[in-house]
Amino acid sequence: MPGKINLRFGLGDGFQEVQVPEKNLLGVLRANEVPAGLTGEAEVRRALAEPIGSPRLREIVQPGERIAIVTSDITRPMPTWTVMPPLLEELYAAGASASDITLVFALGSHRRHNSEEMRHLAGERVWHEIACVDSDPSDCVRMGVTSTGTPVDITRTVAEADRRICLGNIEYHYFAGYSGGAKALMPGVSNREAIQRNHSMMVLPGARAGALEDNPIRRDIEEAGAVCGIDFILNVVLSEHKEILRAAAGHPVQAHRAGCAFLDALYLKDLPEPADIVLVSQGGTPKDLNLYQTQKALDNARHAVKPGGVIILIGSCREGLGERVFTEWMTTSPSPQAMIERIGRDFQLGGHKAAAIAMTLEKADIYLVSEMTDDFVRSIFLTPQPDAQSALDRAFEKLGPEASVLAMPYGGSTLPRILPKGANA
């Protein structure tokens, strides 16, 4: 009998196992091998000592200056608790006082944290040593406007600081190209009006995962960063298991580009052809708590599936859809096409992810393995499946026994790129 390959996909706190016929499997997208180097806090210290395109932070900061450090909120895997101690030591070496330093959690359009969540993100030392606050979209300072008309509205604590340091992890972003860099400011510590203006460009050519120089949204983000002023960034690239593999520190664009190049070496996956069936997961908790977050893996899978194919999306979604506007669009739209038409005339933050799902549905069917009820899943234009194996069996019934299969166990991290015919993968 032909052999079968056993694959495992994270789903919430558990996993789903699938048997795929070996003859059908095009590949399993995992991180590429990279040369071993420093990891974790040791790598952060190296990056701080060897900044890219910038003097060391201790040479930039002056005693008595007010310093705002912007970091990610709880929906992101950024290990702020690991990064902050060496960063604080660098600031103290410049003569900064703990009382002059504030750690600001960039909420974007997300909910506020409770004190225990902030404490967890900051780490015990930092929590007790410096002020830790959420950004406040209701109290922003307008620092200017970008050339595309995006207001540079920045939360007051950051806007009024003498020095601004941006933290973040770099991963692929489905329309900003990559996370990290100036994205900590816009959308991180901005308000809904500004974020909607910036994100409305998601429908333009170039606004796609893995794109930088020709990406209108990334250009706008970096222009907003220049208007506000970023003195230093410290970005990290994480392994599939959330360990720091590389840190890039220094100039807000040059250091970010170096981090993006490392991410590509790790997670950009060249493929000779798309697949009929793509099995994809975010990797489990916390990235699949709701469909709003799980959509990131879905969008990466869209690049790898053939028109008319099937994407099998594996994600707990135990908290449901996950965002108010996204929920309204997904539950009240008469069709996927209606969401695409609506985003063109009425851009709304949250609705943008509904439109992205609708654009994927134009290309392929989406079978969803989740904790949501079947009737509800059908009502949002997706096809519910009881488990990943049943979903794969159903896809073979639809597309035939010879259908090709691609597996993406960490779909939010790995980015497929289909090579032109004749190119080598």
The verdict on 13 and 156 lying in the same domain is no
Are 88 and 134 contained in the same domain?
A: yes
Collapsing DSSP states into helix, strand and coil, what is residue 94?
Answer: coil
> What CA–CA distance (Å, rounded) separates 272 from 32?
17
Residue 186 belongs to a domain: yes
Domain end residue (candidates: 233, 248, 266): 266
Same domain for 303 and 321, yes or no, is yes
Residues 315 and 379 in one domain: yes
Q: What's the rounded Cα separation, in Å, for the pair 323 and 325?
A: 6
Cis-peptide, bond into residue 2, ω within 30° of zero: no
- What global pTM score does this model have? 0.85
Report how far residue 55's alpha carbon sits from residue 62's, in angstroms, rounded to the nearest whole number: 13
Beta strands in 53-139 (DSSP E): 67-72, 101-106, 131-134
Three-state DSSP class for 16? strand
The answer to the question of residue 299 being in a domain is: yes
Looking at the structure, tell me whether residues 293 and 259 fall in a common domain: no
Residues 279 and 229 in one domain: no
Residues 6 or more apart whose Cβ sits within 8 Å of residue 172: 178, 179, 209, 210, 263, 267, 300, 412, 413, 415
Asked which of 266, 286, 315 is the last residue of a domain, the reply is: 266
| Confidence (pLDDT) at 425 | 53
How many structural domains compose the chain? 2
What are the backbone dihedrals phi and psi of residue 372, each rounded to the nearest 5 degrees, phi first?
A: -80, 155
Cα 387 to Cα 11: distance, rounded to the nearest angstrom: 10
Look up residue 341 and give its two tokens. Answer: 């038409």
Give the type of residue at 418.
I
Residue 378 is encoded by which pair of tokens?
Answer: 């059908």
Q: 60 and 23, same structural domain?
A: no
What whole-number distance in Å separates Cα of residue 294 and Cα of residue 27? 22
CATH of the domain at 25: 3.90.226.30
Same domain as 107, residue 193: yes
* pLDDT for the residue 1: 46
Angle between helices 115-122 and 80-93 (to 10 degrees): 70
Phi, psi of 268 (to 5 degrees): -75, 125
Q: Give me the sign of the Cα torsion angle 372, 378, 380, 385.
A: positive
* CATH (domain of 87): 3.40.50.11440
Residue written as tokens 């009737």? 375
Report if residue 424 sits inside a domain: no
Q: Which two tokens stand for residue 103?
A: 């750690």
Per the domain annotation, does 118 fall within a domain? yes
> What is the b/e burial string over 62-81, where b = at least 16 CB atoms within 10 angstroms of the residue's CB?
eeebebbbbbbbbbbbbbbb
Residues pairing with 164 in the sheet = 68
Q: pLDDT tens digits, the chain, 425 residues: what are they?
A: 469 999 999 999 999 999 999 999 999 998 888 887 899 999 999 999 999 999 999 999 999 999 999 999 987 889 999 999 999 999 999 999 999 999 999 988 778 889 999 999 999 999 999 999 999 999 999 999 999 999 999 999 999 999 999 999 999 998 999 999 999 999 999 998 899 899 888 888 899 899 998 999 999 999 999 999 999 999 999 987 889 999 999 999 999 999 999 999 999 999 999 999 999 999 998 889 999 989 989 999 999 999 999 999 999 999 999 989 999 999 999 999 999 999 878 888 889 999 999 999 999 999 999 999 999 999 999 999 999 999 999 999 999 999 999 999 999 888 999 988 765 55
What Rg do the C-alpha atoms of the chain give, in angstroms?
Answer: 22
Same domain, 149 and 208: yes
Let me know whether 156 and 287 are in one domain.
no
Q: Are 212 and 264 in contact (CB under 8 A)?
A: no
Decide if 423 is inside a domain.
Answer: no
- In this structure, the chain runs to a length of 425
Judge whether 306 lies within some domain: yes
| Structural domain harbouring 368 | 4-30+272-418
Which pLDDT value is given to residue 422? Answer: 60
**Terminal CA-CA length for the chain:** 30
Pairing of the two strands 131-134 and 232-238: unpaired
Residue partners of 257: CB distance under 8 A and separation at least 6: 212
Q: Which amino acid is at 397?
A: E
Same domain, 134 and 212: yes
> Per the domain annotation, does 179 fall within a domain?
yes
- Asked whether residue 161 is domain-assigned, the answer is yes
Q: Are residues 400 and 301 in the same domain?
A: yes
DSSP secondary structure, 284-323, as one string: STTTTSSHHHHHHHHHHHHTTEEEEEEEEEE---TT-S-S
- Out of 215, 246, 266, a domain closes at 266
